[in-house]
Amino acid sequence: MNDQEEYARYREDSKVLAAIGACLDAHVDPITVRLPKALAQTAAAAWDRDELGEVGDETHEQYALRDQAGELALIGLAISERGRWENDEVVVDLNVGAVGAAVRVSL
């Protein structure tokens, strides 16, 4: 099997994954989470940060790190827009994708 055949198969796999996602989306509500104040503030700061440099050629590891930083920033956006501060924690509803991204990185 050559690379083109493999990527054609991966493209079909991606379509099936998208169809599964469409089925599951109706069943998945946002998840209410509690985060420690320091983590919530750091996530919000990631959203507020300006990244002015252009992205050039990246290694796979560099791309993954930038992607993870973007996921953190999106959690920070949710905290900034909808977070409720309760003592030393923030309570916020996150979509399952954001929760999944954080859990994947922690494994």
Exposed (0-12), middle (13-18) or buried (19+): which is 70, by Cβ within 10 Å?
middle
Residue 18: inside a domain, yes or no?
Answer: no
pLDDT number for residue 1: 66
Q: Establish if 8 belongs to a structural domain.
A: no
* pTM to 2 decimal places: 0.82
Residue 75 lies in a domain: yes
Rounded to 10 degrees, the C-alpha dihedral 78/97/60/14 comes to -140
Boundaries of domain holding 101: 28-106
Q: For each of the chain's 107 residues, which pLDDT tens digit applies? A: 677 888 899 999 999 999 998 898 888 899 999 999 999 999 999 999 987 777 788 899 999 999 999 999 999 999 999 999 999 999 999 999 999 999 999 98
19 within domain boundaries: no
Domain total in the chain: 1
Is 61 a domain residue?
yes
11 domain-assigned: no
pLDDT score for 4: 85
Q: Assess if residue 1 is contained within a domain.
A: no
pLDDT at residue 56 in the model? 80
